């Protein structure tokens, strides 16, 4: 997940023309990548949230054009709500060539006793959430290897900056919209809804209108953890801070950005020049 940037573009896409252009660029870049490496499939984890739904709508036409399958899996573990499962199924059935719903709760519960000192507190919920993300990714990467493909990441720029992802978990091989703010993902999704057949549009719009959750049971809403009411506010706070405005440095959103920098630098390595003795 170590994606770098030298300068931050803190403007926001807001018009249909801008959304359309961004979607065309993302599809073209993905098409070129698939051809370059001779990939035979794309694998996507589908949560019932807007990001994975947008990813499905974004990549399906590319898969159709290149005649490779979009393989989707919704993998629930213990804390996924029925409405999340219903939305995920609708997305998978409408956009994927190969889709299955899997319940890994029993597998997870057999593993859970191996986690030491699990109690009813926030830290334990985070640990269990990370374990669930890694269980899901094991299944997706196995599918990718079986079908000679890659796993599509569903992370956006806002989640990347605030650490709303799991190291060695829900990251994927190719991140088509990791440089789009969360509000831009919503905007692109709404734009696509106008271009899709009704069943596809309905499936995507249901995810756009849903309360954003992590599917891990940590809180009722992602925004509960960020201390704001909307993602527009989250994006504004991050954009202002990254533009040099330190006025809101103590806000939970900015503090999450600062405290999760280690994740964005993973893996840390020592330069070889520091390891080799100078014999001059």
Q: What is the mean pLDDT of residues 8-29?
A: 92
| pLDDT band with cut points at 50, 70 and 90 for residue 220 | low
Q: What is the mean pLDDT of residues 141-163?
A: 97
- Residue 99 per-residue DSSP state: E
Do residues 228 and 116 make contact, with C-beta atoms less than 8 angstroms apart? Answer: no
What is the pLDDT, as a whole number, of residue 96?
Answer: 98
What is the pLDDT, as a whole number, of residue 5?
Answer: 47
Among 5-19, 38-52, 216-230, top mean pLDDT goes to 38-52
- Range list of β-strands (E), the chain: 42-45, 70-76, 98-103, 150-151
End-to-end CA distance of the chain: 38
The lowest-confidence range among 84-88, 142-146, 267-271 is: 267-271
Domain boundaries, the chain: 16-275
Residue 3, pLDDT > 60, answer: no
Q: What is the mean pLDDT of residues 254-271?
A: 94
Would you tell me how many other CB atoms lie within 10 Å of the CB of residue 279?
4
Mean pLDDT of the chain: 92
Q: What is the mean pLDDT of residues 132-158?
A: 97
Please list, in sequence order, all residues whose beta carbon lies within 8 angstroms of the beta carbon of residue 147, skipping any fewer than 6 positions away.
40, 41, 43, 69, 71
Residue 59 CA to residue 70 CA, distance in Å, equals: 8
Give residue-wise pLDDT tens across range 88-129. Answer: 999 999 999 999 999 999 999 999 998 888 888 888 888 898
Residue 215, pLDDT > 90, answer: no
Q: What is the mean pLDDT of residues 18-35?
A: 98
Residue 105 CA to residue 107 CA, distance in Å, equals: 5
Name the nearest CA neighbour of 189 among 26, 70, 63, 74: 26
Edge-to-edge strand list for the sheet holding 70-76: 98-103, 70-76, 42-45, 150-151
Question: What homologous superfamily does CATH list for 16-275?
Answer: HUPs (3.40.50.620)
Residue 4, pLDDT > 80, answer: no
- Residue 83 per-residue DSSP state: H
Residue 85 CA to residue 121 CA, distance in Å, equals: 26
Give residue-wise pLDDT tens across range 158-197. Answer: 999 999 999 998 889 999 999 999 999 999 999 999 999 9
Burial class (CB in 10 A: 0-12, 13-18, 19+), 219: middle
Between 6 and 90, whose confidence is greater? Answer: 90
Residue 33 CA to residue 259 CA, distance in Å, equals: 33
What is the pLDDT, as a whole number, of residue 125?
Answer: 86
Q: How far is CA 23 from CA 13, 49, 80, in A?
A: 12, 19, 30
Between 222 and 250, whose confidence is greater? Answer: 250
Residue 2 CA to residue 32 CA, distance in Å, equals: 21
What is the pLDDT, as a whole number, of residue 254?
Answer: 97
Which contacts qualify for 216-221: CB closer than 8 Å, 24 or more apart? 216/79, 216/125, 216/128, 216/129, 216/132, 216/133, 217/78, 217/79, 217/125, 217/128, 217/129, 218/122, 218/125, 218/126, 218/129
């Amino acid at each position: 997940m170590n994606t770098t940037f030298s300068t931050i573009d803190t403007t926001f896409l807001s018009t249909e023309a801008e959304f359309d252009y961004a979607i065309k660029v993302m599809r073209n870049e993905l098409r070129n990548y698939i051809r370059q490496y001779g990939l035979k499939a794309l694998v996507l984890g589908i949560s019932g949230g807007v990001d994975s739904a947008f990813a499905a709508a974004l990549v399906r036409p590319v898969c159709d054009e290149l005649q490779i399958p979009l393989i989707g899996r919704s993998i629930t573990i213990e804390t996924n709500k029925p409405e999340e499962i219903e939305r995920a199924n609708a997305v998978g059935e409408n956009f994927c060539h190969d889709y299955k719903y899997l319940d890994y709760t029993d597998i997870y519960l057999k593993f859970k006793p191996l986690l030491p000192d699990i109690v009813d507190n926030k830290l334990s919920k985070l640990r269990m959430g990370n374990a669930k993300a890694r269980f899901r990714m094991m299944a997706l990467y196995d599918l990718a290897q079986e079908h000679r493909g890659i796993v599509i990441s569903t992370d956006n720029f806002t989640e990347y900056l605030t650490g709303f992802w799991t190291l060695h978990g829900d990251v994927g091989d190719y991140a088509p919209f990791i440089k789009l703010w969360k509000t831009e993902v919503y905007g692109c999704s709404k734009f696509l809804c106008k271009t899709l057949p009704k069943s596809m549009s309905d499936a995507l719009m249901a995810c756009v209108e849903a309360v954003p959750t992590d599917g891990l049971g940590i809180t009722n809403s992602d925004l509960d953890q960020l201390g704001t009411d909307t993602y527009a506010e989250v994006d504004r706070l991050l954009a202002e801070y990254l533009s040099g405005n330190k006025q809101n440095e103590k806000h939970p959103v900015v503090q999450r950005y600062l405290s999760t920098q280690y994740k964005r630098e993973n893996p840390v390595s020592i330069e070889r020049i520091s390891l080799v003795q100078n014999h001059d």
